[in-house]
Chain A
Amino acid sequence: EAGVAQSPRYKIIEKRQSVAFWCNPISGHATLYWYQQILGQGPKLLIQFQNNGVVDDSQLPKDRFSAERLKGVDSTLKIQPAKLEDSAVYLCASSSSGTDNSPLHFGNGTRLTVT
């Protein structure tokens, strides 16, 4: 099966600019996650979708971050305006369900550098 696809792989922007990341999960996976991985730290969950509804966005900085999953398939994560501390790898993951401990399948991530 095709894995989780993410684009772009790398992005460099200046602070206060906006940026968007795209994720295409594994076909048929109902649950989609966005994680932020800052250098030297483990991934931190930003938002979890079940189909096209948000299950958990408690750690999403909503003043600058937004995410959507239209039609319950692809998802985009946006940052506007970006801050220096947003420099990180943004990982998208999907699983067949969000409530059965089915394995998370991760994409290769988007590395964001904010200057």
Chain B
Amino acid sequence: AQSVTQPDIHITVSEGASLELRCNYSYGATPYLFWYVQSPGQGLQLLLKYFSGDTLVQGIKGFEAEFKRSQSSFNLRKPSVHWSDAAEYFCAVGAWGYNKLIFGAGTRLAVHP
């Protein structure tokens, strides 16, 4: 069955520290992977996506993610977190040519000053 697992429900980091949010997927075909961010009371905003090619993809707001097929993972990283990064982060998987996305349960990020 197709699924996305985000093992960490809640993560707290200090401002300026590095960040890694984990995402594991289960998908029968070649996966197309996405990270979205949701601030309180807002809709979801696309951070980055991976379709093919270089397994390290760059996104907006200084985020990057690395696709590792052998580990079925697509972890999100940021070298230095800002207080404004506090939000909920969702990993999602889809199939090429179809925009139907399966979302993980999300990781809520808190940033301490």
Q: A41-B105, A44-B103, A56-B100 are in contact. Are A101 and B43 (CB under 8 A)?
A: no
Q: Tell me whether A101 and B94 are in contact (CB under 8 A).
A: yes
Q: How far is the CA of A104 from the CA of B98 in the complex (A)?
A: 12
Residues 62 to 113 of chain B near chain A (Cβ within 8 Å): 90, 92, 94, 96-101, 103-106
Dominant secondary structure at the A interface: loop
Residue B41 at the chain A interface, CB threshold 8 Å: yes
Q: Mark B28-48, 1 if CB is under 8 A from A, else 0.
A: 000010001000011111100
Q: A42-B4, A43-B44, A106-B44 are in contact. Are A101 and B105 (CB under 8 A)?
A: no
Q: Give the size category of B's interface with A.
A: 20 to 34
Interface set of B (CB-CB < 8 Å, partner A): 4, 32, 36, 41-46, 49, 51, 90, 92, 94, 96-101, 103-106
Query: How many residues on the A side are at the interface (Cβ–Cβ under 8 A)?
Result: 28
Cross-interface CB contact of B103 among A31, A42, A103, cutoff 8 Å: A42
Residues of A within 8 A of B92 (CB): 42
A75 CB to closest chain B CB, in angstroms? 15
Q: Tell me whether B103 and A101 are in contact (CB under 8 A).
A: no
Q: A101-B51, A106-B44, A109-B43 are in contact. Are A43 and B97 (CB under 8 A)?
A: no
